[in-house]
Structure 1
Amino acid sequence: MEILRYVAFSTDPAGGNPAGVVLDASGASERDLLAVAAEVGFSETAFVVPVGEGVLDVRYFSPLAEVPFCGHATIATAVAYAERHGVGELVFRTKAGDVRVSTTRAEDGSVVATLVSVEPTTEELGADVLGELLGALRWSRDDLDPALPPRVAYAGARHPVIASATRERLAELAYDMPALAGLMARFEWTTVDLVWRESATVFHARNPFPPGGVVEDPATGAAAAAFGGYLRELQLVDVPCEVTVHQGYDMGRPGTIRVGIPADPGAGVSVTGTAVPYAG
Structure 2
Amino acid sequence: MTDLDILRYAAFSADPSGGNPAGVVLDAAALSDADMLSVAAEVGYSETAFVTERRGDGVLRVRYFSPLAEVPFCGHATVATAVALADRHGPGTYVFVTNAGEVPVTVDEHRRATLTSVGARVAELAEDDLTALLTALRWARSDLDTALPPRVAYAGAYHPILAVTTRQRLADLDYDVPALKALMELRGWTTVQLVWREDEHHFDVRDPFPVGGVYEDPATGAAAAALGGYLRDLWLVEGDAVIELSQGADLGRPGHLTVTLLPGEAGVRVSGTAVPIAG
User: What interval of TM-score do these two structures reach, taking the shorter chain for normalisation?
Assistant: over 0.9
- Matched-pair contact (CA < 8 Å) for 1:195–1:204: yes
How far, CA to CA, are the matches of 2:194 and 2:112 in structure 1?
26
- Where in structure 2 are the equivalents of 1:92-171 lying within 5 Å? 92-105=96-109, 110-171=110-171
Rounded Cα–Cα distance in structure 2 between residues aligned with 1:223 and 1:99: 15
Match of 1:43 in 2: 46
1:212-223 alignment, distance < 5 Å? 212-223=212-223
Secondary structure of the corresponding residue to residue 108 of structure 2: strand
2:97 partner amino acid: R
Q: 1:14 touches 1:279 (CA, 8 Å); kept in 2? A: no
User: Is 2:80 aligned against 1:83?
Assistant: no
- Which one-letter code corresponds to 1:15 in the other structure? G
Structure 1 segments of 4+ aligned residues over 3 angstroms from their partners: none
Q: How far off its partner does 1:263 sit?
A: 2.4
Please give the secondary structure, in 1, of the residue aligned with 2:215: strand
Stretches of structure 1 lacking an aligned partner (at least 5 in a row) = none
- Look up the equivalent residue of 1:20 and give its one-letter code: G
Structure 1 residue 239: Cα displacement? 1.8
Tell me the distance in 2 between the aligned counterparts of 1:263 and 1:147: 23
Q: Which of 27, 30, 39 pairs up with 1:27? A: 30
Give deviations 1:131-184, integer Å, cap 9, x for gaps.
000000000100000000000000000000000111010001100000000000
**Residue equivalent to 2:256:** 256
SS in structure 2 opposite 1:179?
helix
Instruction: For residue 279 of structure 1, report the CA deviation from its aligned partner.
Output: 4.2
In the alignment, the residues of structure 2 paired with residue 206 and residue 139 of structure 1 have an alpha-carbon distance, to the nearest angstrom, of 14
Distance 1:217 1:278 in 2: 17
Please state whether the residue corresponding to 2:114 is helix, strand or coil. Answer: strand
3-state DSSP class of the match of 2:197? strand
What is the CA distance between 1:119 and its match in structure 2? 0.2
Output the amino acid matched with 1:208: P
What are the superposed Cα offsets for residues 27-79 of structure 1, whole Å, 9 maximum, x if unpaired? 21001100100000000000002121200000000000000000000000000
Paired with 2:176 and 2:183, the residues of 1 have a C-alpha distance of 11
SS at match of 1:175: coil
Partner Cα separation in structure 2 for residue 118 and residue 273 of structure 1: 18
Q: TM-score, normalised by structure 1?
A: 0.97
Count of aligned pairs: 275
- Equivalent residue number for residue 196 of structure 1: 196
Aligned residue in 1 for 2:277: 278
Distance 1:227 1:262 in 2: 14
Q: Partners in 2 of 1:46 and 1:171 — Cα distance?
A: 29
In structure 2, the gaps of 5 or more residues are: none
**Residues 206-250 of structure 1: per-residue CA shift (max 9 Å, x gap):** 000001111000000000000000000000011201000000011
Find the aligned partners of 1:279 and 1:54 in 2 and give their Cα distance: 27
- In terms of mean alpha carbon deviation, does 177-186 or 79-88 score higher? 79-88
* Cα deviations by residue, 1:73-131 (Å, 9 ceiling, x for unpaired): 000000000111111111000000000111111xxxx3110000000000000111100
Matched, 1:72 2:76: yes
Native 8 Å contact 1:43 1:214 kept in 2: yes
